[in-house]
Structure 1
Amino acid sequence: MANAEHAELKSSLSEENEASQSLTELETNTQTLEEVNAMAPSFGDEKCFLVEGAEGTETQNKRIMDEKISPIERQLEYLLNKADEFQTQLLWSRECLQNYGFAHIVPMFVQTCQPYFTYLESTARNSNPFRPPLSTYIRTQLLQFSQQLCSRLEQLVLLYASFSFFSLEESDPLSISHFYIGQCQIDNMKLSIFRYCCPTPFLASASTGLYKRMRWNVERQIEGEGEGQTYDSAEFYFLCCEDVIEAADDKDGDGRCEGENTETERESRVERIWSIGRWIQTYPDPDTEDITDWVLCSVPCGQYKQLLSLGSEEPSSCTATDCLLGVLLSQETDGTFGMKT
């Protein structure tokens, strides 16, 4: 029975490698999507409604786009089905808990999904002056695929972690506290996107009440001569949440004093607020040329500078990335991008 389990595991990982290779074939779809997008008017284009039979043209254009997107959607379905298989193996296979190989299934599968995430995010978001922008329909579909796979991977990681195959603690070098969900480049900014599997303390060494849910590594391209692209040191932005206690009046509507309120009523005043902010390093000084502080410092110190409040509802990973890009692009327009004040 153990040999059968091992063979099944080996077969699953072999299929993952084949899936990773097939992702390269999706690159050819980018040019095709651009050609279709250039040929078809945008669904928001008012000219579509000024021509007789425009509704039929719009339906036809949507069908053409769906046909071009279908290979990308099939790849998503394959990855989602593999995640379901790994979950089923864990829950129904009696030998898997003693099988060392099962501890490596999720890390390898998460790594296998990385090229697909990169393809989706870069195709949907990249700005290129030499090609027309994707239509809203295609962009929305690609980002929905990314969101679906991100949510499914998060569920799978949490499930395997609950069986103690690995840790979610960020301080553990063997943990899976977060995973990569794509990369894109807009103008001179390159964003690498990461998703934390659960709310993680913003600082591992101190309790701040802040918990991070996403991280973006933002690199700016340095203009200059020479071959290849050169980027400045990365800046780190986070989607964080914080439990805020709402201020209460001395008396409520029933005339009771605050001290007379029940425990449930006091708990109801705690609200989780979401925001996007930037990591500001305080020690060692990032601008110092003296490397002594860097050598003696085991963990850099920093603080969270809030840039945007998002309210009490947790945004999806795609929505949060849209919000961050809005902030960064507005800062770039104002000439304040990258300032530490």
Structure 2
Amino acid sequence: MTDIEVHVEPQLKNSPSGKPVFEGRQQEDMSELNEPLLLLADAALAPPCGDQGACSYDCEACSHPEVGGMERSIQSMRLQLQFLMSKADDLHDCLVNGQGHLDRDALAAAVPSFLFMCQPYFNHLESTARSTMSQATPLRLDIYTRLLNFSQQLCDRLEQLVLTYASHSLLCLDETEPNSMSHFCIGQSRLSQLRLTVFRYCKPVPYLARFDTGLYKRMRWNVEKLRDEWQQQEADEEQDGESEERDEETVGDTEYYFLCYEDIPNGHADADGDDKVVRMWTIGQWVQVNPDPDTEDIYNWIMCEVPQASYHRLLFLGSDEPSSCCATDYLQQLLLSRQTAE
């Protein structure tokens, strides 16, 4: 996918092409990969504390229904994580242990389908953990940490799965190619009047796909501003009687933020030393340069093959790469501070 990717992203609710994962007996062996993950998201929780044979929670959790309910929900999420991790292992084993007996096209189609299946789980974790950050009663820190640990585990496993398939020339990670699998979605959450959709790049890729700027991106956040209650009411009244489907929640353009690194020359390094450059991780904003985002001339957009943008650095994170969950924490704190300042 080229740099225009920041403007065009498949909707999470859309289905993939529907291509079969495997054929014949292979399809029977791996049919569980096609189970609708949405059913897993509604999996039954553990029995209530009144069931002595099934309840394993302590008395404190039982005496506080909201705590016990969250513990049971976490147990359900843990089971879903185990299921998804096992499916990722199956896909890995099918490639590594039985590559010669499987159709390459079927294998290549299985991974994008599986990544799509994981999106509802990522969304559930992210929205449960993060959407309460700006509320008066946020989650307990230990629960927050456990939920995001589930998300991090699955993200790391899927990243390795994609890299393994790419190493066998079954997937392309080059953004200039239309079928690139350079990144995948790892969840969506809401922060006050903002909706964040998070994407993880399987490996660092150039900030601009066709130009070497010295910047390499690792994550992307699409940040949409949502209508408040009064704006939504006015929009509903204006649309009264219309059947056209559109997202009435969104207001204005989407902003795009990236986690990037760049190698900066180290002026204090020895001439023969290995530390001649220092790697610096930052979070910054995509600031479009061409075509002019304020232009009303539609031909400027039509004639521009790939949009160009500068990188506005907002937060310096040092030389150590943050995990995907920590990086999203940093961005949320940045967005919250901006909202407070406004």
TM-score (norm 2): 0.79
Cα drift, residue 129 of structure 1: 8.7
Instruction: Confirm or deny that 1:295 pairs with 2:307.
Output: no
Matches within 5 A, 1:154-173: 154-173=159-178
For residue 233 of structure 1, what is the aligned residue in structure 2? 253
CA contact under 8 A between 1:222 and 1:232: conserved in structure 2? no
Matches within 5 A, 1:255-274: 258=271, 261=272, 265=273, 267-274=274-281
How far apart, CA to CA, are the structure 2 residues paired with 1:97 and 1:12? 12
CA contact under 8 A between 1:83 and 1:153: conserved in structure 2? yes
Q: Which residue of the other structure, out of 309, 313, 321, is the alignment partner of 2:320?
A: 313
For residue 282 of structure 1, what is the aligned residue in structure 2? 289
For residue 82 of structure 2, what is the aligned residue in structure 1? 77
For residue 14 of structure 2, what is the aligned residue in structure 1? none
Distance change (3 Å), C-alpha of 1:72 and 1:302: same
CA contact under 8 A between 2:132 and 2:139: conserved in structure 1? no
Instruction: Confirm or deny that 1:15 pairs with 2:24.
Output: no
For residue 146 of structure 2, what is the aligned residue in structure 1? 141
For residue 7 of structure 2, what is the aligned residue in structure 1? none
Q: What SS does the corresponding residue of 1:22 show, helix, strand or coil?
A: helix
How far apart, CA to CA, are the structure 1 residues paired with 2:133 and 2:279? 38
Cα drift, residue 94 of structure 1: 4.1
Distance change (3 Å), C-alpha of 1:97 and 1:211: farther
How far apart, CA to CA, are the structure 1 residues paired with 2:293 and 2:59? 59
For residue 181 of structure 1, what is the aligned residue in structure 2? 186
How far apart, CA to CA, are the structure 1 residues paired with 2:216 and 2:135? 40
CA contact under 8 A between 2:224 and 2:250: conserved in structure 1? no
Amino acid at match of 2:34: N
For residue 50 of structure 1, what is the aligned residue in structure 2? none
RMSD of the alignment, in Å?
Answer: 2.6
Superposed CA deviations along residues 10-65 of structure 1, whole A, max 9, x for unmatched, are: 23653133251323405x87xx9xxxxxxxxxxxxxxxxxxxxxx98489878775
Superposed CA deviations along residues 57-77 of structure 1, whole A, max 9, x for unmatched, are: 489878775443111100000
How far apart, CA to CA, are the structure 2 residues paired with 1:221 and 1:58? 36
How far apart, CA to CA, are the structure 2 residues paired with 1:143 and 1:233? 28
CA contact under 8 A between 1:96 and 1:102: conserved in structure 2? no
How far apart, CA to CA, are the structure 2 residues paired with 1:67 and 1:217? 32
Amino acid at match of 1:241: Y
In structure 2, stretches of 5+ residues that fail to align are: 1-21, 49-57, 237-247
Amino acid at match of 2:260: C
CA contact under 8 A between 1:210 and 1:240: conserved in structure 2? yes
How far apart, CA to CA, are the structure 2 residues paired with 1:132 and 1:113? 28
Distance change (3 Å), C-alpha of 1:131 and 1:116: farther
Q: Percent identity?
A: 45
Cα drift, residue 222 of structure 1: 3.4
CA contact under 8 A between 2:134 and 2:192: conserved in structure 1? no
Rg larger for: 1
Distance change (3 Å), C-alpha of 1:57 and 1:10: same
Point out which structure has higher relative CO (alpha carbons under 8 A, 6+ apart): 2
For residue 242 of structure 1, what is the aligned residue in structure 2? 262
For residue 122 of structure 1, what is the aligned residue in structure 2? 127
CA contact under 8 A between 1:212 and 1:241: conserved in structure 2? yes
Distance change (3 Å), C-alpha of 1:94 and 1:128: closer
How far apart, CA to CA, are the structure 2 residues paired with 1:332 and 1:97? 52
- Aligned structure 1 segments of 4 or more residues deviating by more than 6 angstroms: 58-64, 128-131
How far apart, CA to CA, are the structure 1 residues paired with 2:119 and 2:304? 32
Q: Mean alpha-carbon deviation: is it higher for 10-19 or for 212-221?
A: 10-19
Distance change (3 Å), C-alpha of 1:166 and 1:334: same
CA contact under 8 A between 1:280 and 1:303: conserved in structure 2? yes
Amino acid at match of 1:245: P
How far apart, CA to CA, are the structure 1 residues paired with 2:162 and 2:84? 14
Distance change (3 Å), C-alpha of 1:161 and 1:130: closer
Q: Which has the higher helix share?
A: 1
How far apart, CA to CA, are the structure 1 residues paired with 2:299 and 2:69? 61
How far apart, CA to CA, are the structure 1 residues paired with 2:38 and 2:190? 23
TM-score (norm 1): 0.79
Q: Mean alpha-carbon deviation: is it higher for 126-135 or for 184-193?
A: 126-135
Q: What SS does the corresponding residue of 1:159 show, helix, strand or coil?
A: helix
Distance change (3 Å), C-alpha of 1:13 and 1:237: farther
CA contact under 8 A between 1:13 and 1:105: conserved in structure 2? no
CA contact under 8 A between 1:125 and 1:186: conserved in structure 2? yes
